[in-house]
Amino acid sequence: MPDRKSYDVVIAGGAVMGSACAYWLTRLSGGRARVLVVEPDPGYARASTALSVASIRLQFSNPVNIEISRFGLEFIRNISAYLGPAGGPGDLGLRENGYLFLAGTESQAKNMRQNRDIQVSLGAETELLDRAALAARFPYLALGDVRLGSFGPRHEGWFDNMGLLGGLRRAARAAGADYLQDSVTGIDAADGRVTGVLLASGRRVTAGHVVNAAGTHGAGIARMAGLDIPVEPRKRTVFLIDAPRAKHPDAPLLVDHTGFYLRPEGDHWICATVPEDDPAVDHDDFEPRHWEFEDEIWPRLYARAPEFDAVKVLRMWAGHYSFNRFDANAIVGPHPDRPNFHFANGFSGHGLQQAPAVGRGVAEAILYGEFRSLDLSELSIGRILANRPFREKAIV
């Protein structure tokens, strides 16, 4: 068990975001930064990272989100080169089947056209497909209500979420980061700066910087430092289904305008919906909303693809988005009133793919006092303090 009493950086939360921060801090400092990652559950049973659908796309509306995912993709493709032998197995099983968004209204189609121009200018290969082109490419879809499709045939898909977390964690530890099984229960501060953390075990650790990477518990950690962030747990239930007549392992991840998403998982399919009634939930409420499949997903799925007439739910699970109710975008970087307290919070449904770029950005802000590789300042807490939402139109 690490027994130092003082660290350059203490990170609250050791799932994908905390581990990405630890990896980049050790790498960019050449192992000189002393880093402690505090994580209560090394099994990550309730971490969003473990319960994720683990997909990555360039089809966002904001350039910064596109750039963040572009780096995520580069990192995932070249994980061995980034993490080295300490990172372990070098293949995250990336399947670049693409994403297919369907628009049902003219205003959705207009958004798609605008987004496509931005995406393509940043290296995406997004194609806009009218109904006939969609029917030719995806003959199993019923498209009567569809106005336009936006398809990314490359640079989008899904990968091994726990492989990414495990690799980052191993590489961070090999470079000197300490992982401690404990919880942050308090934050010490003096003269406008945080000075250390109090742990559930009763230990006190002094810190030059504190990073909040506690996922759905991020608002609680911020409160310990006297700060507020509009982040809360929102439940998402994911279904693994078998559809014996629908076998399309090369299908893209379909984001349907009627309110569900679907992607192949080997020989089966994964699907989920954004519930119309979407309240904040209790941190301990991981009970799947089993009715969502029968009541909300299946009728729409069958209407979209009649091959889904016979379907069996093989497994379901509930995970929590750490949802930023202000504008559903991430909150990244230091707080102006506590310049050595850093956020990596509020990733809603797209944090896994953002971890490589956000971890790098947080490490740069700590080590150099600025974002260097990619400017993440549009995601800073400043926009919330100024009441200026930074909206992302392509939220799933």
- Chain residues in the site for ligand FAD (CB under 6 A): 12-13, 15-18, 38-41, 44, 47-49, 51-55, 183-184, 213-217, 221, 236, 238, 319-321, 347, 349-353
Query: Please, which residue, 2 or 369, has the CB nearer to ligand FAD?
Result: 2
Query: Please, which residue, 39 or 307, has the CB nearer to ligand FAD?
Result: 39
Q: How many angstroms separate the most distant Cα atoms in the chain?
A: 65
- Give the CB-nearest residue to ligand FAD: 351
Minimum gap (Å) between residue 45 Cβ and ligand FAD: 9
Query: Please, which residue, 163 or 349, has the CB nearer to ligand FAD?
Result: 349
Instruction: Report phi then psi at 36, rounded to 5.
Output: -115, 130
Q: How many CB atoms lie within 10 A of CB 386?
A: 8
Minimum gap (Å) between residue 74 Cβ and ligand FAD: 15
Could you write out the DSSP letters of every residue in 225-280? Answer: TT----EEEEEEEEEEEE-TT---TTPPEEEETTTEEEEEETTEEEEEE--SS--B
User: Which residues lie below 8 Å from residue 68, measured CB to CB, with a gap of 6+?
Assistant: 353, 354, 357, 358, 374, 376
Query: Please, which residue, 147 or 351, has the CB nearer to ligand FAD?
Result: 351
Minimum gap (Å) between residue 80 Cβ and ligand FAD: 21
Minimum gap (Å) between residue 187 Cβ and ligand FAD: 10
CA distance 396 to 393: 9
Minimum gap (Å) between residue 341 Cβ and ligand FAD: 14
CA distance 350 to 362: 17
Query: Please, which residue, 87 or 359, has the CB nearer to ligand FAD?
Result: 359
Query: Please, which residue, 82 or 321, has the CB nearer to ligand FAD?
Result: 321
Query: Please, which residue, 184 or 246, has the CB nearer to ligand FAD?
Result: 184
Minimum gap (Å) between residue 307 Cβ and ligand FAD: 24
Helices (H) and strands (E) in the chain, counts: 12, 18
Minimum gap (Å) between residue 246 Cβ and ligand FAD: 21
CA distance 257 to 160: 27
For residue 111, give both structure tokens. 């958004």
